[in-house]
Structures are given as structure tokens and as C-alpha cells.
Amino acid sequence: MNNFLQWLDHGSISSVPGFKAAGVTAGFKRSGAPDFAMFVAENPCNFAGVFTSCKFAAAPVQYDRELVLRGGKLQGAIINSGIANACTGLQGLKAAKESARIAGGALQISPDLIAVASTGRIGVQMPMELIRRGVELAVTELSDKGGENASRAIMTTDTVPKAVALQLEIGGKTVTVGAMTKGAGMIDPCLTSPHATMLCFIATDADVENELLQSILDRNAKDSFNRITVDGDMSTNDTVMIFANGRSGVKIEKDSPEAAQFQQAVLLVMQNLARRMVGDGEGSTKLVTIEIIHARSEADAKIAAEAVANSLLCKTAWFGNDPNWGRVVAALGYSGAEFCPDKCDVFFGSIPVVLSGGDAGTPEADLMDTVKAPEFTIRCDFHDGDCSYWVWSSDISYEYVKINADYHT
């Protein structure tokens, strides 16, 4: 296995050979900012997808789930920002299908080759004239340099676009993986296979069958987007999809060393974007890793980590640079995890704040440099088993309340 791997400067989904992208202003946003993205491959691609587990799944999520269950090929996707097309009933589902038809017609390909995604306000019917305008504009702007514009066009309350690409060597040939994502609030995905508001679209020029792509996406989502939280609210529209056009000539076979190498590369892309989503959380100033170690089970470690990561009292303390470990142990205690409090140690960074369930005696002044940092780790050692789990979380600031009290697009 060759370990060559290189991150590309200004990498994006269109950095992948054989893919073009565009981002334009169709009129979904009152601000006049870009709000419609398209990316298209030169040829039909193998693909896979994971989606929100919210029961109020948006119409485009329902539409794309059916595409994944059907299998076959996809060649591109359209994404609008400003209207979520969620809780819109049969009319919303018809709008998603009509959007694919409009895009397919403009690209002169079958509408069955087009995925659809939306993000924005819930409960608003999709204005199809804006979809038509977006498609018309995007088709004329498609370019292998258009990935950054596309990543800007899918933003809602994001403050920066999020796109990335890397290259790795497999069998003496170069494989490229590029992606874009959006998400800053309503972030606590629980992405599942068919049988997240965050959106992520990944492209690669490797040749990978749908079944293997699905397996890779399932596994990687568990260690990337399913490990993040900004506010504990799962979206109606969470979607992650991957497209593989095979242009590199590198065939990835199941259970091969090359499959493990490719999966790791895709995971690096997904984790890079997941961290950037938390770092760009609405009004956030901190990225905090919550790590539970030596738990009885991964399930116990998971619910404990998520309890701390989603605690409003913990998150506001982080914003205030307050090393209040009492809020951490309270969250651990009510989480439902099985552990012995008298064995529990808690560390802020490398500094102990709780030892054997009690105050470690560390002066708060010794913790200030840790909690003032833009990134730090809270590690909780249960001394009760061999299992662990981690979550990336953010703080909650005054700005978060302002953004969500005033939110409109």
C-alpha cells in the first residue's frame, strides 16, 4: 500500500477530473447572495448516500433515498439554499421530481441521473420558477473551477464556504477525492442508510461499485458527521452523497488493501469538513472534543460524550472561559451511561479536575489557558472497561441566540 497523500490548494468538488460545478444566484435568498449550486460529471457515476433519520425528512431526502434504493447511476446534483422543501407534503415531493426533470432537460440527460437537495426554511413550498432560473444560470457557468462557487451557493448561516480535495496514489495511479459541505446550525446529524441541516457532496475519479461506496459511506459517517454537534438539533434535510466516475482507471475491490486506503482518504475528507462545520457553528468561538475512555461499552461512552457535548450549561461555560467541571460531571451523571462515579477521572486538556469522583484540587487559574484556547479536549476516564467514544462540539454564544431569533433567508 502506497501512503502518498496530498491535500490540494483551493480543493473542491470540481478538483476531481471529470466533474464540473457552478454556484449562482437564483433568487431564493433576500440578500441576493448565491443560492443555487450544480455539479455534473462527464459520464454517469456509481453513487451512494446516507440521510437524516428525522421522521420529518424533507422531500429531496425522500427523493434521493429512492435513488439510492433503486441503484444504478447518477450524473450530478442540484442544491438550492434558502428553502428546505420540508413539511411540504405531496406538492413538495412533486417539486423535487420536477426539479430533477428541469435539470435533466437542461443538461440533455435523463432526470433519473440527477439528485436534488435543499436547505433553508421549513414549511415553504418550492417556487419552481426559481429552480428553472437557477438551472438555466448554472448550466452556463459549469466549470472545472466552479467548485468554490458551488460551495458558497449552498451556505445558509455559514460564515465561510467549506470545500476540500486530496489526491492519493493507488497502484501507481493518482486518485482524487473532492467534496463540499454546508452547515452551521441545526447540527446534530444521525445519518443512516436507506432501509442530515448539513449537506455534503463528495466526488471521486476512482472506480467503485455502489455497494462498496455505500459501505464506505456508512462506516465513515459514523466517525465524522455523526460525531459532531453544534446545538443538538437534527435537521430534516441532512444528506451526504458520494459519486464515483471511474475516470482514474483505478478499480477499488471489496476487502482489498486499496479499499482500506481509499476508505481512509474519504474519511479524512469527511472529518476535515465535519470539524470545519463545528468550527463555523452559529456564533461559536470554541471547538471542544469530548472524549470518554475505558467505558463498559461503546454505547455507554457514546451517550456520556453526547450528554456533555450537548449540555447548554457546559457550552455556555466554554463560551465564558469558565472551567466549571461540575457541569461536566452532572451531564455524565444524568446521561444514562453505566459507570461508577467513584472511579471517574476528568481532565481539561492534560490537567486533572476530577480524580476518583472528587475534586482534584487543581486551582481554576491553572485551567484558564486551556479553556480560553479556540480548541481543547475534555477527557473522562471511567476506569470501567475497554471502550471509548469521542464527539466534536462547540460552545454557545450570545450570537447563536441572535442568529436563531432573527433567522430568515
Catalytic residues: 197
* Nearest one of 15, 33, 148, 20 to 80, comparing CA atoms: 33
- Sorted by sequence, the CB contacts under 8 Å of residue 255 that are 6+ apart come out as none
Q: Retrieve residue 359's grid coordinates.
A: 475534586
**What dihedral do alpha carbons 244, 261, 184, 145 form, nearest 10°?**
-50
137-157 burial code (b ≥16 CB/10 A, e <16): bbbeebeeebbbbbbbbbbbb
* Nearest one of 230, 220, 193, 195 to 306, comparing CA atoms: 230
Helix, strand, or coil (residue 392):
strand
Cα separations (Å) of 300 from 16, 147, 243, 386? 40, 40, 35, 11
Cα separations (Å) of 251 from 70, 75, 260, 262, 305? 23, 19, 13, 11, 38
Q: What's the sign of the alpha-carbon dihedral 49, 55, 57, 63? A: positive
The strand ranges marked E within 296-373 are 345-348, 351-355, 358-359
DSSP 246-267: -TT--BPPTTSHHHHHHHHHHH
* Nearest one of 163, 375, 175, 392 to 264, comparing CA atoms: 175
Q: What's the sign of the alpha-carbon dihedral 380, 382, 386, 391? A: negative
C-alpha 224/C-alpha 219 separation (Å) is 9
Q: What's the sign of the alpha-carbon dihedral 146, 140, 133, 49? A: negative
